[in-house]
Amino acid sequence: MSDKNATLTVADRSVSLPLVEGSQGPSCIDISPLYRETGHFTFDPGFAATAACKSAITFIDGDKGVLLYRGYPIEQLAEKSRFLEVAYLLLEGELPSSAEMAKFEDTVTHHTMMHESVKNFLHGFHYDAHPMAMLCAAIASLSAFYHDTVDNEDPAQRKLAAIRLIAKMPTIAAAAYRYSIGWPVRYPRNNLEYVTRFLHMMFEVPSEPLELNPVVAKALDLLFILHADHEQNASTSTVRLVGSTGANPYASIAAGIAALWGPAHGGANEAVLKMLAEIGDAKNVEKAVARAKDKDSGFRLMGFGHRVYKNFDPRARIIREMTHKVLDELGVDDPLLDVALKLEEAALKDDYFVERKLYPNVDFYSGIIYKALRIPTEMFTVMFAIARTAGWIAHWIEQHEMPGGRIGRPRQVYVGATPRDYVALDKR
């Protein structure tokens, strides 16, 4: 809390509101005394100007295109780190020593198996179920299997739940995919590292060993780093809101998965690829841009725009560079990349997009890489969920560690009927 104040005048009443300062970023006006002092609430649909919590995990400067995990620039982590180390960083707040990393990796590796009954649970779905539906339900169901990690007040249980979620998410995700294509579930192989193990669970068939190009694992690891956390986005805020009620970690993360699924959030990567396929050819790009500008069309350019970034999304910059490299190294010639590049070029010089600061976001290029890695389109958002689990659970733990937590309970501007008397059925 700073010693500075803001003064708000409502009609003839002035109220002094304290400013809350973080370590960087704009200061916030603490409006918690507002209703008591003035009888007014604040109105901020979409929480565009509202900080709902204090957090020490991730910092974003949307005007400058800056993203830091625990103070480390995303560019440095993307170049030098790997996903599991980033997961440790998000959870613990510091980069691990070699011994700490080895222990963390060993612990995660030894929690990768899923309970056999979870497999049966997945088999209850119809064969054409979307893998996000299966993932969401299966993760929520974990609270029914792991009763030793649902006491939110116990730090050791919180930590073990975090490990289990990070460890089991790829196993369950791969099982959901294999069920949908009628392949037998592949158990996790503990001699492999996190991302390679996941790729084996996705693609290895019982009849022959999997020849995996190391470029694939490297690219997926980088995508996981870029997706690992992103401050108070819709799914993380959902995890925190559900967590604020005292709900167990599995239920809280399942709620995050549900929120991520929407096309305005993590579902955008799947939507981008569908959009590029619909545009079909670079010569149709101008028409698509015109349609996106027409408010009556209900069509938006998927993979463009961001609530916080009013500059290039730094993750998109990294993925953009990586896309060409991965496609070259894998020898993939994808015509959708030409459509994507033409679309990017057309939007970046169009007044509508320039004025509204609508730049390509992280999801614009990630789908093209996932496609090159042979990840099926309906699994794109599942990839995002695997990576974001590290961030979600770090936020859930932080929320339980920080003093003064309260249940999240927004207010509203009521616009419904004013009081009226009930009318009996025969009189209506």
Q: Which residues pair with 404 in a beta bridge?
A: none
Find the shortest distance in angstroms from Cβ 49 to ligand CMC. 12
Decide whether 295 or 428 has the Cβ nearer to ligand CMC.
295
Binding segment (CB under 6 A) for ligand CMC, from list 109-117, 120-128, 191-199, 353-361: 353-361
Decide whether 223 or 301 has the Cβ nearer to ligand CMC.
301
Question: Does 380 interact with ligand CMC (rule: CB under 6 A)?
Answer: no
Distances from the Cα of 355 to the Cαs of 197, 247, 316, 347, 358, in angstroms? 45, 42, 20, 11, 8
* Token digits of residue 95: 């980069």
Number of residues that bind ligand CMC (CB under 6 A): 20
Footprint of ligand CMC on 232-291 (CB under 6 A):
233, 264-266, 268
Kindly provide the residue ranges of all beta strands, DSSP E only, lying in 30-163, ordered along the sequence: 58-61, 66-69, 72-73
Whether 306 sits among the annotated catalytic residues: the reply is yes
15-34 residues labelled b (16+ CB within 10 A) or e (exposed):
bebbeeeeeeeeebbbbeeb
3-class DSSP state of 336: helix
Instruction: Give the per-residue contact string, 28-47, with ligand CMC (x = CB under 6 A; - = no).
Output: ------------------x-
**Could you say which of 230, 306, 313, 395 is catalytic?**
306
d(CA 9, CA 293) in angstroms, rounded, equals 39
Question: Does 231 interact with ligand CMC (rule: CB under 6 A)?
Answer: no
Find the shortest distance in angstroms from Cβ 388 to ligand CMC. 9
CB 272 within 8 A of CB 319: no
Find the shortest distance in angstroms from Cβ 241 to ligand CMC. 17
Binding segment (CB under 6 A) for ligand CMC, from list 157-165, 184-192, 325-333, 358-366: 358-366
Nearest residue relative to ligand CMC (C-beta): 305
Instruction: Give the per-residue contact string, 298-337, with ligand CMC (x = CB under 6 A; - = no).
Output: --xxxxxxxx------------------------------
* Token digits of residue 175: 């099982």
- Site for ligand CMC, rule CB under 6 A: 46, 233, 264-266, 268, 292, 300-307, 356, 358, 361-363
